[in-house]
Amino acid sequence: MAKKRSASSGAWLREHFDDHYVKQAKREGYRSRACYKLLEIQEKDRLLKPGMSVLDLGAAPGGWSQVAAEIVGEKGRVIATDILEMDTLADVEFLQGDFTEDSVFEELLRIIGDQPLDLVISDMAPNMSGMSAVDQPRSMYLVELALDMARRVLRPGGVFLSKAFHGEGYEEFYRDMKGSFESSVTRKPKASRPRSREVYVLGKGFKG
């Protein structure tokens, strides 16, 4: 089993470092290949605009926050949170901690303040075990947390974008999400590896 895991890990590392988007991110100064997923969705859906207020859930290492901060500009605001540490990013307010814990959640709400947000984004994913029966419930739990947070902090008309994984619980989640937004779509960016079950759910026009 250990040898199998080692071989699998080695194959993943080779694929990762040969990856076009990994190399492009290094050339262009982005923190992760995930930046290109958000940039592609942005090109199609124009969810980020100058002056917007944005919450980035599961932000580390900071790729999505980096893209968001560049687009919303000095008049905008980007708040990021993650359990993991994240190196400082210009114009990004970062809170480290698990926002499912009351103390972290309250601190996050304090940082957000009284003004509802324009956009909530989440690229959260669990540490994958390779066992669908374990990974799928974990991934659905995270996207459900992201949606719950969006419902708490978005302004009417606001936008929600989150990673999700096809599998058990996905269809029920998507139906539930659609009820909170005027329009809902899914996106599969080119930077998302084809064999991955990940998609991005996008809700526009939060009903409040």
82 a known binding residue? Answer: yes
98 a known binding residue? Answer: yes
176 a known binding residue? Answer: no
64 a known binding residue? Answer: yes
62 a known binding residue? Answer: yes
Catalytic residue (choose from 75, 163, 188, 190): 163
Q: Determine whether 163 is an active site residue.
A: yes
Separation CA 69–CA 104 (nearest Å): 23
- Residue 46's CB is within 10 A of a number of other CB atoms, namely 10
Separation CA 114–CA 92 (nearest Å): 18
Q: Give the 3-state secondary structure of the chain.
A: CHHHHHHHHHHHHHHHHHCHHHHHHHHHCCCCCCHHHHHHHHHHHCCCCCCCEEEEECCCCCHHHHHHHHHHCCCCEEEEEECCCCCCCCCEEEEECCCCCHHHHHHHHHHHCCCCEEEEEECCCCCCCCCHHHHHHHHHHHHHHHHHHHHHHEEEEEEEEEEEECCCCHHHHHHHHHCCEEEEEEECCCCCCCCCCEEEEEEEEECC
Active site residues: 163
Binding-site annotation, residues for S-adenosyl-L-methionine: 62, 64, 82, 98, 123
